[in-house]
Structure 1
Amino acid sequence: MKLYSMPSSGNSYKVRLLAALLGLRLDIRDVENGSAELAEARAEGRLPFGKAPVLELDDGTLLPESNAILWFLGEGTRFVPSDAVLRAQMLGWMFWEQYSHEPVIAVRAALRVYPERAAQATPERMADLLDRGHAALDRMEARLAAHDWLVGDGPTLADISLHAYTHTAADRGGFDMARFPGIGRWLERIARLPGYVGLHG
């Protein structure tokens, strides 16, 4: 299978991380932001929604959206609970990640990291994203202060999904992660999983 992956993107990274944890070999096609490879993949119709990641199956089927790819690769593995309620709770965290977490944590990081977006990083917007990001992290901390994992008694796709942008929230986004010791311990647990790789691993 081919993975069209933006190396600097947490959404692409979460797919690479799951593949590494499962020992899956993927043919990684880097399509970094602003690159000729990204433009070519779009021109060839490899990115149905115009962005990475996209998983191309052996028969040519294209699967866009990071959490949908996680579900496809994770189904039937230890990262998807067998209990229906736990599965629904896992999906709830994954939906929340894309609706309430990624739009603030990842966007603030992008405004700081990508030079072409610097003009959008007004003081007012950055302050708003900081406040909203800390509020999202508070939501995670409320769970992780008393539990090892977001759902159940072991790591699930929810942990992989939310790890992607959370583990770089301090360095890339400028968030005060010292405020969230439960999240810090959770990040350490994920980093100890066999096969783990970081964003640039």
Structure 2
Amino acid sequence: MTVYGYSASGNCHKLRLLLTQLEREFKWVDVDSTAGATRTPEYLAKNPNGKVPMIELDDGRILTESNAILCYLAEGTPFFVGDTYQRALVLSWLFFEQYSHEPYIAVARFIRGWTPLDSPRRASLPQLRERGNQALAVMEQHLKSNAWFSGEAYGIADIALFAYTGVADEGGFDLSAYPAVLAWLERVRQTPRFVAMPAPPVEALSRLALPD
């Protein structure tokens, strides 16, 4: 299996984390989506949507969209279990992550680290943080009475939500207001074969270190 992904992307790191914890063999091909590497004719021939992550199976089949890939990889494993209702609850958190969480927390991080300091996009940071904090508040409420988002044990909903929550500070979010989220983040980091997301490129790190 080949995984095409940008290492500093939370959406891509989801797959690296799950595959590592499943002890599955895979080849990682780093594709810098911020530099246009997903818009080449070769890449678009495999994924016309021009995004990462993407996996290519041994038989040549292609699968895209990070959370769909998580479901595929986790099928038949302890990372995606339960009856129809329980699995639907997991899916509801995956949809929440892509619709109510990632568009704000991940985008705020991207704008701070990957756009010029004079970018007009930085004007949207206050609104992104407002909406991102709404998502974090939903997570906090759930975690006050639940250890995990995937049911009774750690699974793909936790992996999906961990990816960008774990680096939310890089988007300017203060997680100290969410103690249950902080405790959950630490539980995820203590799971067997956990791997952290690689650091952003040096240029992004330098911007992330600056105040808005």
The question of 1:96 aligning with 2:82 is answered no
Equivalent position of 1:141 in the other structure:
140
The question of 1:83 aligning with 2:83 is answered yes
**Superposed displacement of residue 127, structure 1:** 0.7
The change in CA–CA distance for 1:96 and 1:188 in structure 2 (over 3 A counts) is same
Q: How does 1:1-201 map to 2 (within 5 A)?
A: 1-35=1-35, 37-40=37-40, 42-43=42-43, 45-115=45-115, 119-123=119-123, 125-170=124-169, 172-200=170-198
**Superposed displacement of residue 48, structure 1:** 3.2
**Superposed displacement of residue 97, structure 1:** 0.6
Q: Quick one: distance in 2 between partners of 1:12 and 1:117?
A: 25
Give the TM-score normalised by the residue count of structure 1: 0.92
Q: Quick one: distance in 1 between partners of 2:168 and 2:41?
A: 29
Unaligned runs of 5+ in 2: 200-212
Q: Is the 8 A contact 1:101 1:133 kept in 2?
A: yes
- Superposition RMSD in Å: 1.8
Q: Quick one: distance in 1 between partners of 2:33 and 2:97?
A: 22
Unaligned runs of 5+ in 1: none
Q: Deviation per CA, 1:113-163, whole angstroms, max 9, x where unpaired?
A: 10358614333x111111111111000000012211013210121101100
Identity score, percent: 40
The change in CA–CA distance for 1:168 and 1:4 in structure 2 (over 3 A counts) is same
Q: Quick one: distance in 2 between partners of 1:190 and 1:99?
A: 22
Q: Deviation per CA, 1:16-67, whole angstroms, max 9, x where unpaired?
A: 1100110111110000134475444754623332100000011111101000
